[in-house]
Structures are given as C-alpha cells and as structure tokens.
Chains A and B, each alone.
Chain A
Amino acid sequence: MALSGMRGLSVFISDVRNCQNKEQERLRVDKELGNVRTRFKNEKGLSPYEKKKYVWKMLYIYMLGYDVDFGHMEAVSLISAPKYPEKQVGYIVTACLLNENHDFLRLAINTVRNDIIGRNETFQCLALTLVGNIGGREFAESLAADVQKLLISSSCRPLVRKKAALCLLRLYRKNPDVVNVDGWADRMAQLLDERDLGVLTSSMSLLVALVSNNHEAYWSCLPKCVKTLERLARNQDIPQEYTYYGIPSPWLQVKTMRALQYFPTVEDPNTRRSLFEVLQRILMGTDVVKNVNKNNASHAVLFEALALVMHLDAEKEMMSQCVALLGKFIAVREPNIRYLGLENMTRMLMVTDVQDIIKRHQAQIITSLKDPDISIRRRALDLLYGMCDVSNAKDIVEELLQYLSSADFAMREELSLKAAILAEKFAPDLSWYVDVILQLIDKAGDFVSDDIWFRVVQFVTNNEDLQSYAAAKAREYLNKPAIHETMVKVSAYILGEYGHLLARRPGYSPKELFTIIHEKHPTVSTSTIPILLSSYAKILMHTQPPEPELQNQIWTIFNKYESCIDVEIQQRAAEYFALSRKGASLMDILAEMPKFPERQSALIRKAEDAEVDTAEQSAIKLRAQQQMSTALVVTDQRPPNGMPAQPSIGPLSLVKVPSETVDSNPGDQGLTHPNGVVYKEDPQPPSQDIIGDLLGTLSIEGPPGAVAQSPQSATYEAEGAPSAADAAALVPVGEESGSVQPIGNINERFYALCLKDSGVLYEDPNIQIGIKAEWRAHQGRLVLFLGNKNTASLGSVQALILPPTHLKMELSLVPETIPPRAQVQCPLEVMNLRPSRDVAVLDFSYKFGPTMVNVKLRLPAVLNKFLQPITVSPEEFFPQWRSLSGPPLKLQEVVRGVRPLPLPEMANLFNTYRLTVCPGLDPNPNNLVASTTFYSETTRAMLCLVRIETDPADRTQLRMTVASGDPTLTFELKEFIKEQLVSIPTAPQRPQGPAAPPPPVAPASQDPGALLAGLL
C-alpha cells in the first residue's frame, strides 16, 4: 500500500532501504535534502501536494537521525492549508520537527486558534494535538480558555473532549500561572461522572495534574474516584471495547488509584471502607494466568493497588499481606513480576516499618542477585542496599563481596561503592570495616574509586586502635604475588604511616617493610610512585637509630628520581633527600598525619548522586537519607596538633591551597608551618584528591580562565591588576570607557532578571543585550539576544562565560560581527551541578569604530532559578520538619538589619523567589513558613523548608530556620534568603584596601569567581 499515493516518497524510502551501508545512505539523503531545498527555494511553482510530499520526506530524514535545518516554515505554512490532507501533514510534521520555543510556532497561533474554535471536528482534533504536544506559553495565553470551553461543552463529541482534557493538562503543567483553574473543582467533579471511558481516562489524568498541585481544592473529587474504581472493579457498565483481556480498563483503574495517592488520606469512614473493600478484592483476586497480556494488565492494577495501600498507611495486617504478596512475586517465573516485586519492596522499605517482615525474604533477594536479567539484578542490589542495617550488614556485605567476582562489569563499580558504604555505615566493629574495604580492593581494584581508599585511610588515621591492625593487614596483602595497584597505594601509605607500631613483631622491621613495599615498585605507574617515596621517607624517619644500609638504599632511590621527568616525583625525591639529611628536624616535618576533620562521607554523597530520585519519592528519600547520616560511624572529632577544627560544611574555612602556591615558595612553608605538612608532603595529584575529597562538594576551584590563587591574593587582584579576576569592574575596561556609557542601571537590570525570565541585561548606545531564559529542573536554556542598534556593524564581538564551579555552561558560537540593525541569538545551556550562590559572569566585548568596549555582566542564572514552588500540607510538613533535626541539615540564624517589610509583602517576596508560602502552618501570625524544591545534578529534586519568625515590635530583625536534606543546600539557601531580606546594595561595592573585609553579602566562598560576583 503506497503512502496516500505519494509515489516520490515511496521511491525515496525504498532507495534508502536499499542502501548497502551508512555511507550510501548519507549520500542518498544528502541528495534528497539538496533537492528539497532547491524546490522550496522557488516556492512559487510548488503545489500543496508537492509541498506535502517534501515535508514528509523531511520528517523521514529527520527520523533517520539526520539534521534538517530548513523547511520548517513550509511545514508550518501547511497548517493553514484549507484541505485536510495538507493540513494534517502540516500539523503532524510541525509537532515532530519543532519544539515549543521555536519562533515559527508563533506564526501559526492564529490558524490554530481558528481551527480550535471552528466547527470542523477533525480540524479541532489536529489543532488540539499540536498544542498538546508542543504548545508553549503563548499558546496557553491565547488558547487556554477556548480549550476549557471545549472540554465542558455538551455539544462536542467525546473524541474532541478527551483531547481537550489532555491539551488543558499540558498547558496547565507548563504554565500554571497562565491557565486559570479557579473554580475547576466543581467542573472536575462533574467530569468524573462522565460515562464515556475515553473522556473519563483523560479527565482522570487531568485530575492527577490538578491534584498534585493543590489537593485541598479537589476533596470533592475523592469520593468520585472511589466510585469510579468500584464501578471498574465490579465491572459494572463497562463497554466491551474498554475491556482489555477481560479486565475493565486497567489504565483507568491505575490512573484512578494514582489520583487517590495525591490525597494525603481518606478521611470519610464510608469512603475509606468502600475503597479498602475494592483494594482488598484486587489484592486477593489476582492470580497468575497463562496469557501474558492478561497477566500484565491484572498485575498493573495489582501493583498500583499495593502502592495505594502503602500510601494510605493501612493497618499492619494489610501491610503484611502486601509484603507477603511481594514476597511471592519476587520468586515467580514471570520476570516482569519479579522485577516489579523487587522494586515495590524497595519502595515499601521507605514508607513503613515492615522491614522485619521484608528481612524474611533476604535469601530470595540474594538469589535475585544472580538473575539472568541485569535489570532484575540491579533492583535486587538496590533492595539489599536499602534493607541493610546493623543486624544484617555482615551477611549482606559478605554476599555482595562474593557476588563481586562474578558480577557484570556494568555493575561492579556501583556494587563496590554500595558495599563500601554499607560497611562504613553499619560496621559492627571498625576492623571488620577495614577487612571489607581491603577485600574489595583485592577483588575489584579496577572498580574501586579513589574515594573508597581515601575513606579507609581517613578512618585508620582517625582511629588509633585501628592503626596497628590495618598495618598488619596491609602487610598481609603485600605478601601476595600480584595485587592491584590501588592495594599497593593503600598498603604503602598505611605501612609508611603506622608500620613502626609493629616494629617488634617478626617481619616488621623497617628494612623488611621497605623491601616488601619496594618489591612492588617495578609494577606501579607514576601516580603511585610519589606515595611510595613518602612511605620510604617515613620508614627512614622511624628507623632509630639509623641503619646506614637502609639509608643508602633509600637515598639511592631518591637520587634516581631527582631527575625524573614527572615534576611531582622529582620534587618529592629532591625534598625528601634534602630533608632526610637534616637529622632530628626530620622528625618534626614528617610527623604523623594529623587527624582528618569529620564530615559526611564522600562515598555516601556519591551514592546519593547515583540514585534515581523521583519527584514523588523525594520526600520519602529525604527521610531515608536522614536516617543514613545519623547512622554514620562517628570517629574522634578532635584533631590533634592544635589544628583548628574545621566545620564540615562551612565553605568559609575550606581553602584549597593549589600546588602552585606551594611551588612558588619552595621548602619554607612546609618547614615552618606545622600544618603545611599536610600539603607539603603529598602535593601530588592523588593526594591532592585527598584534600579535594576533604573539601568534598565544596571543592573550590577557580573558573576556567580565572587564575587559581590563594584567597588573599585574589582579593589583591580584584583591587589592582586587570587580570581575569578583575571582572569586578562593571564599567567598560580601559581608557575608552568614558565614551560608551551603559543605559540604565546594570545592577537593577540584573536584579530584575533574577525575578523574571526575560528582559534586557545590558544596553548602551551601540548594543542591547536581551536575555530570555527557560528553566527545567536543574537545567536551563538562556538565549542572549545581541542587537546592534547602529547603522554600522559591530566588530570583534566576543562573549566569554566565566562560570562558577557549580554551573556547567555551554555558549553556542558568537559571530564576530553583528551586521547593522541586526539581532543575533546565542543560546546558552546551563546545568546546575550543586547548590551554590555564586554567579556566572559574561565577559562581553565588541568594537565600534575605533572604540573597544568591554563589559562584565552577571548572568541571572542564580539559585532561585533552580527552585520550583511546591505546596506542602501540614501532614507532610511536620514530619519532615521534625526529621531534619539540627545542623548541618537544619540551620537557624537571627538576622539583623533586615529591610523592614510588612508580612504580606515579605510573603510576596518569597513567592516571587519561588518559595511557596504555606499559610496556616504556623499558628503564630507573625511567622512565615515556606517550602520549595531545589534541583541540581547532585541533589536531584530536594525539598527545602523555611520558617521565618518576625518580631512585630522590631521589623529589622527576624529569626530564620532553613532545612533540607543536604547540608550545603541548607547553608546556601539560608544565605541566599538572607541576602534577599537584607537590603541589596545597588551601587557596586568594592573593597577599599587590600585589608578590607569581603562584602557582607557573599563572604562564603573563596572562589575567585564567587568573589567577583560578590563584588559586583
């Protein structure tokens, strides 16, 4: 059957099919694209039929994976064709080729609207489908009311109404501020009485969207949902075509139960009773049958019922019935059911205290680790990880270790990370923990990330009881003939540091230790040699009185590496050699490593990153994370050597001293500064990772291009030399700056853009830089509009982004010249990696005539752009609030010098920053409670809660409490809110002298980029 008689298209498709290889295919496609392009150019001679044919070809080529960057206009123009076939093609192809931000779509709005309000039902359907697939803000603004009318119109056919329901859903999801749903509760309730199951299914989806945003308004729909569910479960009045393999519309059953899960509870006892009757019937009445499709459908309903039962917090009896069912599922033959059984068991773990019942299935879950299906093995691993606690940690971790040798490569890294974390969290004793990690390195060295061995070193360093045990273990592993390089690293490090504690045992004399370590020397790579050198130096230091023979051996090695091409090794060798000749002073310099400051395990953080977070589960997960971090094995908090205890999360005190700094004043710093030894001793890459690891998420690095320097010098820089750090200057740099003055206040423009998504960022007599931004979870897309206001072109245009470390930014190519009166659009992709208040800077320059203009502009990719408003009910709020107890997850501060604001205005301010104020949660009318969700790559979606207590007598001070599941996020958000509450300085603020304190609003980070942004 040919495609609606389009012969040319069929010929093209079979040509492509007949291509022998990719190269031929590309040639054929290129030829066709060239052909289509020329035909479109002389559009006059094109009949609608031809146009239609070419547009289909474009879509086909696009689907094959080739880029089609022309012809969009032709596709869009077909939408306004009067005849159905052309119109249909226009609508379908436009929806596939264009995305909602495409400018051409605006051209079609009028036609689309005419089709929607017109009388022709097929046209209505086409138009609704387009809007439902790619309708953006403008569509919402001009069409939402019409779509709402269609949905409730009694004269429309179900076919149109069900599409209208889903179209409205899309418009509402994308732009809840534009689509007015006030008073829709009653209409929704009416829609749920619908007899047509197609319309009812769509309406139920719409209800889910509305309820998930604000369940309070839709209580009246709850009994209707239960009625619908009853009608389906009893198979009353269900037309044959909606019965799928004997089951009354499983999709509608599932959707209805989904909708019910958005209500916090079912209060009315009658409704609750009938709901539980239905659920009970589903739980009991589902059997495994032969027909696969029937089986799938009935289990789809069953799993949804399980989820609803969990949500409703049923009585313990029903819960254990659910676990029993799941226990049955994870052992059945059907792999899909096994998969979902494991997944739902993991979910169950989070919500209720049925862990003990789940533990009974531990053996079966462990068997699932050997399932032929990797998807199932992954779920089993997740479940084992989730159900592990002190009581079963030993069993589970040992199972994981055993499984490690046979596991797929794709899973080994995750597996070893999880085993390491469980060992750390639930170790019955620390020597067991050391055993596990060493076994892990032994069995799967390639998959053991550096974090894992850094962590074991930290533990051993911080626990004196563990040191000699670890040294003995390390010695044992070194005896093995072939060991992984990571094992060499960790053993050499531990023996160098603590080998001397065992000097009296046979086989542990300095000489023997040296020999056994040095045996591995020929097998290791350059990254390990610095660690070996450090070990040798330490062994030498511990050999008292000195043994000339050993000394000579080690000196020979140092000598050999003094001419090493690797600068790190060379420097170490040279320094150790010089130091070891200084006799007694060697003891001070190479003293034992100080203890590491206590902080969150980098491993746990990493695992959290690796976990998939779903929007719905985030609150539950938050609680789970909370439980994890309190279960951490805590070691001695007090660092020795009088080193000030560094708070684990104050980015203030964490300064990374880059090796360059050490290099620049060789020796001295290390010799005189007692703590300098930390850096002095291991300034090579891996050990710098230890330092970096210490700094954790706060690892501070300069933005690319900016000079990484110690904080003080960065401050000097900002004051003086026009280096990269001089981005502080807002006004154009150089002499010419006087000739081109910006129009309007740059600061005000920036602050305005922090609150809205489009506007002017910068303007002067020559150029206007506009910005339009769109934010989705942790990603954003900004478009810079560079408009030349002159009748002459602007040359040497350059735009550089100086991103802070927490943002990943990609700016598309900026043309070197902007033609007269032209506007250039440069998309900029932004990804938020971590919570931080640092601001990205755009370094923009252009040349107009002889004048070079350079401006540095802050980009409004600020913390609040990654927030998404969320309303939290008291039932959700209070358990969360309580579970996040105390620092570092919950921080409190009394803020003084607040810009006095009446409470409603403050609430408005919060709402504009996308922190939803939840009225009624705090009984005290002077207090404000707000909630929001923060998105970043590391935290995923994370719920944040804020409480402000104001003093009616003194509006300039207040007490603020911020809580979230991530310490950094809590801190950053607190500081961010503080900045907004304390009056924002509008004039650029610059330190007066080198010693001037950093500006009060952004003292937190020493990142040069942040420093700049703070100064702006």
Chain B
Amino acid sequence: MIKAVMVMNTQGKPRLTKFYEFLVRKRQTQFSLFFFLPCLIRAENVSNFMEADSIFGPDSRLVYKHYATLYFVFVFDSSENELAMLDLIQVFVETLDKCFRNVCELDIVFNYSKLHTILDEIIFGGQVLETSSAEVMKVVEEISRQESASNSIGLVTKTVSGWRNR
C-alpha cells in the first residue's frame, strides 16, 4: 500500500502531505526534511528511488519525481510495484495540469483544497483508486459544479443553521 504522499517545493516547503498509515506526528514533520536534504545532493540523471526506512520503518520505499519547482514524493511498501508508483505520480501531475492548465506552484499553494480533492480521487486509503486522468477530471468537474450549485443556494438559506439539531 501507499504509506504517504508529499508535494514539496525545491526550497523544502511542504505543499501537500497526506499519510495513509499511522505515523507519529514527530515523524510526520520530519518527513519533509528527511527527504529534502539527501535530495539536494543527488546528481542529475540518477534513479528516482531513495531509502525511507528511517522514517517509515522497514519495508518502505520512496519514489520521487521532480517537476520545475516541485517534488512529488510517494512512499509505499513492497506490495506495490515501484515503476507503477512512478507512473502514478505522472498521472497525478497530468491531472493537475489538466485542472489548472499548465499547473505551477502558485496554483497548488492557493488551491490546496482542490489538490486534496484530486488526490482523493486517485489514491484511496493507500490504494490506487483511479489511473485515468480523464476519469479523475470528470469527477473533479462534477464536484466543482456541486460546490458552485450549493453556493448559490447557500445565499438563500445562509441563516438557517438547523443542521446542528439534526
């Protein structure tokens, strides 16, 4: 299963973190640094794999991909195929690209709710949910419609907070 997903920029700032396996908070916060420092000294044209045992325990693999100012990092265990995970990063990024039309770091910073929505349509509880970026886009567009639809209704019923008494 996939244990964690992280997006961070080339300055080491996390842009998205999501953990699918319980990890104590201290380890969670160490993750970005743990990945970032060794990554800095990695040469060009090396593999996309790195060790991750010291944070995630035995049987952890890490694969990352570098796009412009962002790193996309997936951590997973031996039940997943390494290259398939690398492909999944590509699907994630292609979906973002479709969603934001040439995605850049700023899109991600200011729309991180959308990032969560998209990620939830690709990975579910640490398992691969959907691998077709076209399918993911369909769902995301549907969700956006829902959001704006209920926003307009929201104007009418804004004062009603009866839900709390349900």
Contacts and interface: CB of A to CB of B under 8 A. Distances in A.
B69 interface: no
13 contacts: A3-B110, A65-B28, A80-B163, A85-B147, A170-B127, A202-B127, A205-B127, A254-B84, A296-B86, A303-B82, A335-B47, A372-B45, A612-B53
Interface in A64-112: 64-65, 67, 77, 80-85, 88-89, 92, 96, 99-100
A242 B161 contact: no
Nearest to B45: A335
Given A63-B16, A208-B79, A258-B81, A293 B49 contact: no
A373 B47 CA distance: 7
Interface in B78-110: 78-79, 81-84, 86-88, 90-91, 100, 107, 109-110
A612 B59 contact: yes
Contacts of A133: 20, 124-125
A288 B111 CA distance: 38
B125 A296 contact: no
Nearest to A101: B22
Nearest to A4: B147
Given A56-B113, A201-B128, A244-B131, A303 B150 contact: no
Given A129-B124, A258-B81, A1 B111 contact: yes
A300 B87 contact: yes
B161 to A, nearest CB: 7
B127 A335 contact: no
A241 B87 contact: no
Contacts of B88: 251
B46 A375 contact: yes
Contacts of B163: 48, 80-82
Given A65-B29, A80-B166, A159-B139, A616 B129 contact: no
Contacts of B111: 1, 3
B139 to A, nearest CB: 6
Given A64-B14, A133-B20, A250-B87, A613 B82 contact: no
Interface of A: 1-5, 10, 13, 17, 47-49, 56, 60, 63-65, 67, 77, 80-85, 88-89, 92, 96, 99-100, 122, 129, 132-133, 159, 162-163, 166-167, 169-170, 197-198, 201-202, 205, 208, 241-242, 244, 249-252, 254-255, 258, 293, 296-297, 299-300, 303-304, 335-336, 338-340, 372-376, 378, 612-617, 776-777, 940
A252 B81 CA distance: 11
A100 B45 CA distance: 40
B147 A84 contact: yes
A293 B127 contact: no
Contact of A48 (B42, B59, B161): B161
A822 to B, nearest CB: 26
Nearest to B7: A63
A167 B125 contact: yes
B10 interface: no
B87 A296 contact: yes
Nearest to B128: A251
Given A65-B32, A84-B146, A616 B14 contact: no
Contact of A612 (B14, B58, B158): B58
A215 to B, nearest CB: 15
Given A65-B29, A122-B143, A614 B59 contact: yes
Given A335-B45, A376-B46, 19 more contacts: A13-B110, A47-B158, A48-B163, A84-B149, A133-B124, A162-B130, A163-B129, A166-B129, A198-B129, A208-B79, A241-B135, A250-B84, A251-B128, A296-B90, A299-B83, A336-B82, A376-B47, A614-B59, A615-B79
Contact of B18 (A82, A96, A205, A251): A96
B134 to A, nearest CB: 4
A241 B147 contact: no
B127 to A, nearest CB: 5
B84 A251 contact: yes
Contacts of B112: 3, 60, 63
Nearest to A171: B125
Contact of A304 (B45, B81, B87, B128): B81
Given A205-B128, A249-B131, A4 B47 contact: no
Contacts of B20: 133
Interface of B: 13-18, 20, 22, 25, 28-29, 32, 42-43, 45-51, 53, 57-59, 77-79, 81-84, 86-88, 90-91, 100, 107, 109-114, 116-117, 120, 124-135, 139, 142-143, 146-147, 149-151, 153-154, 158, 161, 163-164, 166
A257 to B, nearest CB: 9
Nearest to B33: A65
A375 B58 contact: no
B130 A88 contact: no
A344 B22 CA distance: 29
Contacts of A88: 117, 143, 147
Given A198-B132, A614-B78, A300 B25 contact: no
Contacts of B87: 244, 250-251, 293, 296-297, 300
Nearest to B23: A99
Given A2-B110, A82-B163, A300 B78 contact: no
A926 B88 CA distance: 52
A564 B133 CA distance: 74
A83 B156 CA distance: 12
Contacts of A63: 14-17, 112
B47 A129 contact: no
A242 B132 contact: yes
A4 B113 contact: yes
Contacts of B57: 777
Contact of A163 (B32, B58, B124, B161): B124
B110 A303 contact: no
Contacts of B133: 241
Nearest to B25: A67
B35 to A, nearest CB: 13
A616 B110 contact: no
A67 B139 CA distance: 32
Contacts of A251: 84, 87-88, 128, 131
Contact of B150 (A83, A132, A373, A376): A83
A618 to B, nearest CB: 10
Given A166-B124, A242-B132, A373 B139 contact: no
Contacts of A100: 22
Given A63-B17, A67-B25, A940-B58, A617 B78 contact: yes
Nearest to A47: B158
A169 B125 contact: yes
Given A63-B17, A372-B46, A303 B128 contact: no
Given A3-B113, A776-B22, A122 B146 contact: yes
B43 A373 contact: yes
A618 B73 CA distance: 27
A373 B48 CA distance: 10
A150 B88 CA distance: 26
A590 to B, nearest CB: 46
Contacts of B47: 335-336, 338-339, 373, 375-376
A92 B90 contact: no
A340 B47 CA distance: 9
Contact of B14 (A65, A84, A296, A335): A65
B153 A83 contact: yes
A132 B83 contact: no
Nearest to A133: B125
Contacts of B153: 83
A613 B153 CA distance: 55
Contacts of A255: 128
A940 to B, nearest CB: 6
B148 to A, nearest CB: 9
A241 B132 contact: yes
A89 B113 contact: yes
B33 to A, nearest CB: 9
A3 B126 CA distance: 26
A99 B22 contact: yes
B91 to A, nearest CB: 8
